[in-house]
Each structure stands twice: as structure tokens, then as C-alpha cells.
Amino acid sequence: MKKLILLATISGLAYTNANAQIPFPVNVDQDWQSKTVLMPKSPLKQQVLFVGGVDDVQTTATYGNPAGTAKAKEWHDFIGFVKDTTEGALGWVVVNHEEISSNDKIGDGGGMTSFKIKRTKGDVLEVMDQTLSDGRKGKFFNVDFVNTVGETGMNCGGISAKHIGRVWTAEEWFRSSNSSIMPARDTADFVISGTDFAFANGKSIKKYQNYNWMVEVDPKTGKAIRKQYNWGRAGWEAGVVMDDNKTVYLFEDGTPGIFVKFEATTAGDFTAGKTYVYKHDGVSTKWIEIEQNLDTLMQINAVACRRGATMFNRLEWGTVANGKVYITETGRSNVGTRFQGKGGVISPTLVEGYKNYYQAKNGSAYGGTDAQAATEVMNNNFPDYYGRVLEFDPATETIRTYIHGGPYYDPSTSQGLPVYPDVHLSNPDGLATMTIGSKDYLMIQEDMNQRSHNSMPDGFAYERCELFIVDASIANPKYSDLQRITASAFDAEITGAIQIDSKTILVNSQHPGSFNDSPYNHSLTYAITGFDGSDPVSVVGKEVKAETFSVYPNPTARELHLSKVMDVAIYDINGKRIKVYRQVRTINVADMAAGTYFIRSGEGETLKFIVQ
Amino acid sequence: MKKVASITILVLSVFILSTAFKNNQKGNAELIYERQQERLKEFLGEVQYFGQFLHDDNITADILQSRFLRIRAKYKAWEYIASYDDPDFVKMSINGAPLPKITPNTANLEISQPRGLQVLDELLFSGDFEENLPDIRKQTSLLSKVLDEYTVIRRPIYDRVVLEAMRVELVSIFTLGLTGFDVPASGNSIQDAITALETMRSDLGLYSKFFKGVDATQAELMYATFDSFIEYLKQHDDFDSLDRLFVLRTYINPLFASIYYLHKASGIEMLHEVVNEASLLPYNHESTNLFANDFLNYRKYIQLPERFATDKTIALGKYLFYDPILSSNLQRSCASCHHPEKAFTDGKPKSIALGFDGTVDRNAPTLINCVYSEKFFHDMRAEALEDQIEHVLVSRKEFDTDMIKIEEKLRKSSEYTKMFEECFEGYKGEKINGKTISFAISAYVSSLRGFNSKFDKYVRGELNSIEPEVQRGFNLFMGKAVCGTCHFAPTFNGTVPPLYRESESEVLGVPKDPYATTPVLDNDRGRAVGRSKERVYFFEYSFKTPTIRNVALTAPYMHNGAYKTLDDVVDFYNNGGGAGIDIIIEHQTLPFDSLSLNKQEVKDIVSFMNALTDTTGMTSKPERLPVFTNNEDWNNRKVGGAY
């Protein structure tokens, strides 16, 4: 045993002199007496609940067609949850469909699907048979927009205000003409009537102008309630309702994207109040009021920018943790001239992003002022490849970067090269809070904008998005504070994560590559169960020991954590090399079949590990 | 003063010594990493220098052209690793085709205007120089900006990457470089190839000792082949007369194979040990010949999961393919329009529609090797073979049915039920369903593939000779006649090398009837009426580039079957496509001008195409069809359908 290692070490060294890259023999003697590590089956169970294009939804009478059944739409994005303990249930789940398609039964545009779940034996979730107040019977129900408030399109994010049991859906895809809502069939002018908004009632607008409002829906009846004409029409991605049940923050996916606040006059009544837009450099106040006038509200972005609002680069989802609001700013590399001539001011978070980029590019800190950095951003000199997560503090009304996306560099490696694949957070998009006990964690979900520019560890590989959690009490988290919980199917976006209770979260895998195995070749909603009220990071067991070569089993994500950045190879039971990893600190073995494997360091030390 | 100088010298020599010492410790990949950083800087520097010239009032086209070729040389030195490492970036911003594209990953339909070296090549070497100058300035500053921004991107280079990138570059040199694809106007392709080869030869030189330790004979052969390849190109630098077939057999394929052997024998890890199986490319990094049957991994083009991709599933798919049970009138099968003896076409301009009610809209394409495609149908509206099938089922002119009805019918046959159960053991849910039906058919259709024509065998060295006209024809096809810049080797369809991930369509200006006195444009708008997200002007009259393999069996030609013979088709191209017969489409993607091919050359190209026939093992039909015990009258179905 000792001899074998020695030999390998010598040949390794000899090679190192000629070539610094550590070689790993293709085959090795499998008779190793090495320390064994068990990789138990994950305590987290994954269960598919709702598959787009496969499961049937119950529809209402629409476009002259009778109520009936149709295959569910796909492109699952946001998930809303409303607690409902009747019949032993957990509550109602409602899923956004981010598409714009023609559908005789469900209705044109995007849409939502609602269903009720309960927990059964062995923590298995069950979609319950239900009869709705309109007589529809089944498991999955189409949320009726056509016959209530008018169609929606590309339903992306939303608001799931769990503390008040209310849900809104959003449409980031800002429409600018009737032809742009094709293939929706109804393009007749839309007359707003009978709403809670006096300023809107009786007004006739173009059909496309009735898209892109936040819409409140009722999952229990499978119906839309109202378009929130008082919050403004924009490329909304998502929002949050604060604990006071009065304050709503809204985030716009656009370049420029704006950050909006609504304050209700009366708690719980969101039909009356004031709408503001954020201006971080405002002198007396940081909020510019937008009057409750339909024409103004219909072009709130343009009005806000003209009045000097703060301009962001694609705001996505938000969540509240420890009383602060966290928002993803997903980034866009081809900003072009999108900020120019709008009148707004560049967000301080983009200034921080530019400085970060500058330092990575030039090896030294940016020497100019913030105003100069903002000008660089405005002049299209900041390729915002990877985005970031923002933190807004309602107490001070300041916004800052919480964590930068991007594998720019890692000082711990030679040449400052990025470490793959663990140090890698690109284009954060979905965002939600997981609360365990009194502690808040952020669930950050990626949606890659591109494969190029180091966004993916394997340049030409398919996009693979990941869901990370981070302890929100860490003021300035590093990449090493992020823990991966799940990765999507290839080419899919991972989105919609929402906590149901102390045991379970629900997640969507959206628009996967068609080559994925069934049912992962469809958009789907799945549950991850097994957190069991414990600290999700320690469920993952992420301790680091100061040994030269050791691995830490990670039952949750089935990761091997190495004690330092290094090269390693994995061998199967027959001693055949099956994987080689270079410059890694974490190896994801979730895809490996159960069995015995060996892991070997560059120095020839080996450990045996068993995937159960 | 003297003191200062000597101190400087001392400092300098310590610096040099330490650098040298340090270099000694560095591995080859690290040295190549540094070279690559330097190459990017030089490339950027050359673009910036070029940019300065553009503001000189006395600038002439000649000076700029020669400076531009220096940019190309710097690019070609940087290309092989860069385009393997970050192919999307290189294609998008540096060296993509000079055509507008639909921007990926945007909610709205956005068009990306072409940019990069190929655009500059056209602006500098064709059209009016004075008129183009503003665009030349704009393109140059764009290029300089993206390259400058790219200096922030750092990514480790490993030995594996170097060796794999070289093999992919050999594919690029042969399929894109030497065909003139990426130098549409300057024609600088041979010099480009020499630069790329010299760069790789220099990097490979670092491994000389190492490879000699692995396999001295093989290593020496590889280095010698590299050197003689470069020398050969220097001696034969005329684009039109370059013997590409000789280059392919003598240099490209032997190098492609020997780098692989040395890589493998050295024990340096390979791509499949680094990425997940799902992340592997259609380009098979373990193949050893550009014309080998395994050069492309067909499985990467279909959805069928590997565990169901068995001979049994292929056999089941074959039954379904020939079974008219799929159509509403029980008289038509896939084979009604795809006859095996005609390489799965039917000899008609457009196939007969269901119920003899006229014809379908377009010509039936060959199915052999059709799997090597990103998208399906002439208008590229289906994303996978499995999706394509459903379009045929629901078409009123074809099967006029739907998947639910087919499922119901098939479930009535215990023979079919048994086969589905065997083929899809472990599949969750009903064994006969839309998905498994599509899987079975795609298993069969994707089995209809092979590169075993006379020409393939000659390229692989399995045949020692081939007719001179075939040789001449191939050289014309890949050179002077520029056919190979759209019909890419070795599939000779529109699937783009070197990674073969996406398929292209072209705007040719095909007439409704080429034999009419005044031909008029065929009114089929093609891709512009296919997918809703592709409804843009540059896809008007755009059609998928079909393979020319088996073209001897697949007359008549084009999406509308308007051309009766291959000679007529080549004539059409020779005269500039639609533009040559007064059909003017501004966004025609085929060169407007004549190819200047003489009669013999046209004949030679046709001879080459005729040498690409191979239907070996693909033409047999099932002897009988599965039985329906409770539906006696269904059992009279004819294999392949009644018509």
C-alpha cells in the first residue's frame, strides 16, 4: 500500500518537472487500503408534482368553448402559495406559465395553474381532488383571466405574500403594440369597467395596454381578481408585501428597470394609496410620487426616468429577510445605449458592479469617483455579464450590492484564475426566503443569460442553473458561503423556489432541453422535502477540516468538499479512471450511480467513498 | 550615472534569470496560457492600430486591406484555443457569418446585426471603399471594444484543452477555412490556414519530449506531417487549384488521428471525463477521421433516451414507419412519401396528398442522415425528430389524425402492445403513448444513417483510387464553386462545423418553374412562416440546407421539387441563383455573381455528388405488419400503405 503511493508520488513529481499539470493514471490497482467515506442517500427527497404539457387542467368556458379539460401550459416560472388547512391540506399552490401562446380552452397569452396539496405518509405530497365554486372538478385548475380581468402574457414572477395569504402575478415582457401580443386572438380595444379604480373605469385602452399590470389572483377559486391599475404598467418581474400589510415594493425587469413602492392608505386594501418610484440620490426624499392617473401610470417607466429615477439593469425577484428587502439584478451584457437619454440616474449597484469589473480587468482598484463610474456605465463601458443580488434597507432607504455574480477571479489560485465549478454564481434571478426557526436564509436561483464569457464552467456545455442558499445574517457573503441545494435539468432555468413549511420547498425547472429524460424534458414543479426544521446549511454538513486531503460527505447535495483547491480524479471499483477535476474545491456527485468509488489527489493519496 | 546603469543591469539580469527559472517550472499548458494571453493582446493591438489608420485622410483601400490581413493573422493565432474555449463569444462577436441573426435569450424578437472580421472582410474587399468607410470605422471600434472587454475573462488552460482544441481547429481549417467560408471577400483562406497551423505546431513543440516518451514513432510522424502540411500549403497557395482531397487524405485526417492517439496514450484526461455525458457535443471528440461513421454522435440530435435506443425499438419504429394504421384512412404510411429505394424520397416534385386531394406543400426530403440536424422540415419549424412526427400526423394533407387516436388504435393490437412493453420497460406511465410512439419512429429514422459511399471509403483510405472527375468535382465543390460553404463536410448539409450544433437555412431565390420562359419566384415564404419567433425579413424565402448525400436518388430537387436534374441545379447556382434569372431578393444569401464554372466543371461536380450514394442496409421493408385480432378488416393493411 505505502509503496504504491510512493511510486505514484515519484512519477508524479517527475512529470511535474516537465509539465506542471498533475497526471492521473488511467487505470490503477484497485486494492487500496484507504479510508472510507459513506455518502448516504440524501435526506432530501425530490418529488415531481406538476408537469407542463402532460398534466390535465380543468378550464372554464372560454372563447365560446364549453368548460372542459386541456393539457397544462408549460414554461413554469413563479410559484405562489396560500396556506389552507381544510381537509388536512397544506395549502394552494399556483404556478405561472411564462409563455404567449394561443389556446382555445385555457385562454391566450400566458396563464397560471392552481392546485391544492397535502402531506401524506412518509412526507409524500399529494395533489388533492377538488371541486371549485364554479363546479370545476379535478386536480389542476386553470386560473381564468379571459373572463375576469383580461388576458396576461409571459407570466414570470409575482408576489406570494404568505403572511396575508395573497398572490399576484407579473408580466415582465413589456408589450408595445397589438401585433406584439400575437398569437393572442383578441386585439379589440379594451374598456376598463367595474374596477376599484375610479381613474381607470370607463377608459378605453388598446388591448396590448391591458397587459403588463400586476394581477391579483385567487388560487382557491381559480380566478383572477383584479389588475392593479394603480401600481403602474411596466415590465414587472416581481414584488414583495411588507409585514405592515401596507407597503408593496415592485421590481421591473428592463434596462432601465425601476424600483417602485406602493403605500396603501389602509392596511390590507391595496386599491387605494400612493405609488412612488425610487431615486437613490433624492435630496429631501428618495421617493418620487407618481400621480394616480391612467395615462401616467401606463408609462410609469418613462415618466419615472424623466423625473430622474434610479435606473437598474434588469431587476428580477425580491424577498424580505431580517426586515430587509433583497432583490436580484440579473444583468445584461449588451446594455447598448439603453440607459442613454432616458433622464434617470445610474444605480449605485451598477457603479459597484463597474468597479468590481474594473478591478478584475486592470488588477487595481478603480481610481475615479462614483459619478465617473456611473458615466462609464451610461456610456456602455460595463459589460454586466453576471449580475448581482441587491440589499435594500427600508430603515435607511439605501441600496447596495449584497453579493456580486461572476467568477471573475479567485486570489487563492495561481494567476488569479476562477475556480470551477463551485465558485460560480451567474445571473441570479429567482429569489426567496427560507425561514428555519427564527433564522432567514436566501434561496438564490440562477437563470443564465449566456454560456460565453465564463458564465458556465464548461464553456460550450449546456446551461445548467443552480439554486444556492446563504445565511442572510451574513452581511457580506463570499462565494464559499453559498451552498448548492439543487441544479436544474440541462438548459433549464431554475426558478420559483418557495418555502411551504419547515420541511419542504417547491421549485420549478423551466424550459429544459428536449434531450433531458422524461419528465425532465418538460417544465415542471417539484418538491424538495427533508429540511426538517434544521439549519439547511448544516443539513448539508459543510464543515472544513484542516487536513491536506480530506473529503466531507454532503448528504444533501451529494457533494464532496475538498480541504483546498486541488486537482483530483475519481476511479470506479475496477480502478478505471472515470472523472478528472482540476482546480476544484467541491465536486458534485449527485449524478453518480450508487456504488463504490475512489478519489485520488495529485499526490497519489486515495480515499474510498460509497454512494448509497 | 554609471552606478545607476549597473544597478539597472543587475536588476534586469536578476529579473531575466528569475523569469527563466520560473519558466522552467511551468507546465506546457501554463506556458500556452501565457502565450494565449499575449495573442489576445496582439490581436487587440492590431485592431486598435488599424483603427488609428481609419482616420487618416489619405487612407487607401490597398493599405487597409494589407493591414487587415495582419489583423487576420493575429486572430488566426488566437483562434484555435479561443474558439474551443468560448465558441459562442467567438461566433457572436468576432468571426460569425456576416448575416443578421435572431438574438438568443431575449423575451422580444430582437435582431443582432452582423459584426466582426467577416463583415470587415466584405466591407474592405468588396463594394465601394469610400462608401463602406463609415461602416468599417464602426465595425472596427466595435471589435476593439469587445476584445478589450474580453481581457477580463480568464480561464485556465489544461493540456486536454490544448489537444482537443487543435483537433477541432483541424475540422475548422478543412470545412470553414479552406472553403473560404470565413473570408467571404478577401480569399485569404490558405494564408489563414498556414497561420493557424504554425501556431499549433509551435504550441505542440512544447510537448515534443513528452510525446516522444509516450510513443516516439507516432510523435515523430505527427510532427513531420505538421511540417509537411505547412510546407505544402506554402507551395500551393492558389485558392482555386488547391487539391483539397489530397490535403484531407494526406494531412488533415492523419493529424486528426495522431493527435488523438497521442492524447489518449499519454493518459491526459479527455472531455468525457471532465463534463457530464449530457454536456458532450454532437462533434465526437473520440473520432479519428472526419469522414468516419462515428464522426458525429447521432444521439445528441434526438430525444430518445439511451436506455430505450435498442435494436428492438428500431424494429418497432420500422413497423410504425411502414404501417398505414397511423393515418386516418388506413392507406398511408410514412413510406408513402419516403420510398426506401429512392433514399426515402418519392420522385415527385411534391407528394400526393391524403385522399388524392392535390399535393402536399413541399418536396419530400431524404431521411438518410437526416438525423444530423438541429431543426426539421424545409422551414425548420420542428426542434427534434420526435416533434416533427406529430406535425405529419395532424396535417390534413398527410395523416389527418392525432396522437390520441393513434394511441387508441395501437393499444388494440396485442402484438404492438407487447412490442411497446418490451421496448419501453421502465418507462413511467402508459407504454403506448405519444412520446413512446415518437421515440420508436425516431429510433428507426435515426438508424437510417451512414457514411459508406464510395467517396467516404476513398477518403478513409478503404479504397485506393477514385475517378479523376470525382476528385475534381470534390475540389470544385469545396473550393472554386463554394458549395461547401453551405453544404458543410462531411454531412454536406447545413449543420455548421466544427461543433455541428446548429443548422442553417439559405435564401436562394428558387423559381416556381425554372423551365418557364420568364421564371418567377416560388411564393412559398419558407422559414418566415415557420416558427413564430422567426418571422423576420431575412428568413423570407429561406429554406433549410439539405444534404447532398444520395442526391443521385432524390430527384427532383429544391423545396418545391422544381428542378429535374442535378445539372440544372448546378447551373442555377453557377449563374448566381435567383439573381441570375432576374429574381431579385435583396437578402439572397447565395453569391449574386457567376461562379464561372465551365461545362466540364459542372459535370465534375455532378460526378462527385453521384459518388455520395449509400443506402447500405437501409432499404429493407418489414415483410408483414402487426395483427389486430379484434379488427379483422384492419389486417388487410398493405406494408407501406396503399399509395
Domain ranges (residues) in chain A: 2-42+548-611, 50-410
pLDDT at position A153 over 80:
yes
Q: Which of A180, A409, A581 sits opposite B154 (nearest CB)?
A: A409
Best mutation target among A11, A21, A510, A567 (most B Cβ atoms within 10 Å) is A21
pLDDT at position B21 over 50:
no
Give yes or no for B387 touching A (CB within 8 A). yes
For residues B331-358, average pLDDT: 97
CATH number for A2-42+548-611: choose from 1.10.287, 2.60.40, 1.20.950, 3.30.70: 2.60.40
In the stretch 490-509 of chain A, residues with CB closer than 8 A to chain B read 490
Give yes or no for A415 touching B (CB within 8 A). yes
Contact list in B for residue A488 (CB cut-off 8 A) is none
Contact list in B for residue A180 (CB cut-off 8 A) is 108
Q: Which of A415, A416, A514 sits opposite B383 (nearest CB)?
A: A514
Give yes or no for A236 touching B (CB within 8 A). no
Whole-number pLDDT of residue B12: 38
State what percent of residues in chain B have pLDDT above 70.
Answer: 95
Pair B163, B289 in one domain: yes
Distance from CA of A68 to the nearest CA of B (A): 17
Pair B469, B429 in one domain: no
Whole-number pLDDT of residue B5: 40
Pair B212, B323 in one domain: no
CA distances from B459 to A118, A206, B340 (A): 64, 63, 26
For residues B614-643, average pLDDT: 95
Least confident interval from A166-180, A262-276, A278-292, B441-455? A166-180
Whole-number pLDDT of residue B377: 97
Pair B446, B471 in one domain: no
Whole-number pLDDT of residue B57: 84
CB atoms near residue A94 (< 10 Å): 24
**Please, is A483 exposed, middle or buried when counting C-beta atoms within 10 Å of its C-beta (0-12, 13-18, 19+)?**
buried
For residues A27-52, average pLDDT: 76
Whole-number pLDDT of residue A424: 77
Contact list in A for residue B384 (CB cut-off 8 A) is 514
**Within a domain: residue B560?**
yes
Whole-number pLDDT of residue A545: 41
**Whole-angstrom distance, CA of residue B213 vs CA of residue B55:** 54
**Within a domain: residue B616?**
no
Give yes or no for A40 touching B (CB within 8 A). no
pLDDT at position A431 over 90:
yes
Domain range for residue B77? 33-155
Q: Which of B443, B448, B446, B452 is nearest to B343 (CA)?
A: B448
Pair B311, B413 in one domain: yes
Write out the E strands in B497-574. 505-507, 542-544
pLDDT tier, A242 (very low <50, low <70, confident <90, very high otherwise)? very high
CB atoms near residue A496 (< 10 Å): 30
Whole-number pLDDT of residue A6: 33
The domain boundary residue, chosen from B244, B272, B296: B296
Whole-number pLDDT of residue A416: 60
Most confident of A131-145, A529-543, A596-610, B525-539: A131-145
Q: Give me the interface pTM, i.e. the ipTM.
A: 0.87
Q: What is the pLDDT of residues A433-476, one digit of tens each?
A: 999 888 999 999 998 888 888 887 654 456 678 889 999 999 99
For residues B44-53, average pLDDT: 96
| Element containing residue A81 per DSSP (H, E) | strand A76-83
Give yes or no for A188 touching B (CB within 8 A). no
Q: Which of B603, B610, B591 is nearest to B549 (CA)?
A: B610
For residues A195-215, average pLDDT: 96
In the stretch 524-553 of chain B, residues with CB closer than 8 A to chain A read 532
Whole-number pLDDT of residue B539: 96
Contact list in A for residue B29 (CB cut-off 8 A) is 19-21
Give yes or no for A183 touching B (CB within 8 A). yes
Give yes or no for B158 touching A (CB within 8 A). yes
CB contact under 8 A, A458 and B387: no
Whole-number pLDDT of residue A542: 47
Give yes or no for B426 touching A (CB within 8 A). no
**What 3-state class would DSSP assign to A114?**
strand
Residue-averaged pLDDT of chain B: 93
Whole-number pLDDT of residue A413: 52
Give yes or no for A519 touching B (CB within 8 A). yes
Contact list in A for residue B108 (CB cut-off 8 A) is 173, 180
Contact list in B for residue A449 (CB cut-off 8 A) is 105
The domain boundary residue, chosen from B155, B178, B196: B155
Q: Cell triple for residue A178?
A: 397589438
Give yes or no for A34 touching B (CB within 8 A). no
Pair B192, B139 in one domain: no
What's the domain count of chain B? 4
**What 3-state class would DSSP assign to B510?**
coil
Pair B337, B253 in one domain: no
**Within a domain: residue B501?**
yes
In the stretch 454-483 of chain A, residues with CB closer than 8 A to chain B read 454, 458-462
Pair B151, B178 in one domain: no
Best mutation target among B105, B172, B212, B427 (most A Cβ atoms within 10 Å) is B105
**Whole-angstrom distance, CA of residue A34 vs CA of residue A46:** 32
Q: What is the pLDDT of residues B495-526, one digit of tens each?
A: 999 999 999 999 999 999 999 999 999 999 99
pLDDT at position A10 over 60:
no
Pair B146, B167 in one domain: no
Q: What is the pLDDT of residues B209-222, one digit of tens each?
A: 999 999 999 999 99
Whole-number pLDDT of residue A20: 62
Q: Which of A20, A409, A514 sits opposite B30 (nearest CB)?
A: A20
Give yes or no for B492 touching A (CB within 8 A). no
Whole-number pLDDT of residue A334: 78
Q: What is the pLDDT of residues B289-331, one digit of tens each?
A: 999 999 999 999 998 988 999 999 999 999 999 999 999 999 9
**Whole-angstrom distance, CA of residue B475 vs CA of residue B308:** 41
Give yes or no for B28 touching A (CB within 8 A). yes
Which chain A residue is nearest to residue B149, measuring alpha carbons?
A383
CB contact under 8 A, B105 and A450: yes
Pair B537, B414 in one domain: no
Instruction: For residue A166, list its beta bridge partners.
Output: A161
Give yes or no for B435 touching A (CB within 8 A). yes
Could you tell me if A598 and A22 are in contact, meaning their C-beta atoms sit under 8 angstroms apart? Answer: no
pTM here? Answer: 0.91
Which chain B residue is nearest to residue A15, measuring alpha carbons?
B210
Give residue B538's identity as a one-letter amino acid code: F
**Whole-angstrom distance, CA of residue B487 vs CA of residue B478:** 9
pLDDT tier, A419 (very low <50, low <70, confident <90, very high otherwise)? low
Distance from CA of B172 to the nearest CA of A (A): 16
Place of cell 484555435: B80
Least confident interval from A75-84, A399-408, B69-78, B234-243? A399-408
pLDDT tier, A12 (very low <50, low <70, confident <90, very high otherwise)? very low
**Whole-angstrom distance, CA of residue B93 vs CA of residue B97:** 10
For residues A311-321, average pLDDT: 97
Q: Which of A20, A154, A591 sits opposite B27 (nearest CB)?
A: A20
Whole-number pLDDT of residue B29: 92
Could you tell me if A85 and A144 are in contact, meaning their C-beta atoms sit under 8 angstroms apart? Answer: no
Give yes or no for B33 touching A (CB within 8 A). yes
Contact list in B for residue A517 (CB cut-off 8 A) is 305
Whole-number pLDDT of residue A456: 76
Q: Residue B522: which residues within 8 A CB-CB, separation 6 or more? A: B510, B511, B512, B541, B559, B560, B562
Contact list in A for residue B261 (CB cut-off 8 A) is none
Whole-number pLDDT of residue A14: 34
Q: What is the pLDDT of residues A351-360, one digit of tens each?
A: 999 999 998 8
Q: Cell triple for residue B128?
A: 465601394
Identify which has the larger pLDDT, B129 or A486: B129
**CA geometry: angle A510, A261, A429, nearest 5 deg:** 20
pLDDT tier, A5 (very low <50, low <70, confident <90, very high otherwise)? very low
Pair B536, B471 in one domain: yes
Residue-averaged pLDDT of chain A: 87
CB contact under 8 A, B25 and A20: yes
Q: What is the pLDDT of residues B395-445, one digit of tens each?
A: 999 999 988 899 999 999 999 999 999 999 988 778 999 889 999 999 999
Whole-number pLDDT of residue A4: 36
Q: Which of B273, B386, B499 sits opposite A460 (nearest CB)?
A: B499
Domain of B378: which CATH number? 1.10.760.10
Pair B78, B145 in one domain: yes
Whole-number pLDDT of residue A302: 97
Give yes or no for B209 touching A (CB within 8 A). yes
pLDDT at position A523 over 70:
yes
Give yes or no for B232 touching A (CB within 8 A). no
pLDDT at position B1 over 70:
no
Contact list in B for residue A515 (CB cut-off 8 A) is 278, 300, 302-303
Q: Which of B232, B230, B217, B386 is nearest to B299 (CA)?
A: B386
Count the alpha carbons within 13 Å of A454 in the hemisphere toward its beta carbon.
27
For residues B222-247, average pLDDT: 97
pLDDT at position A60 over 50:
yes
Give yes or no for A31 touching B (CB within 8 A). no
Could you tell me if B326 and B406 are in contact, meaning their C-beta atoms sit under 8 angstroms apart? Answer: yes
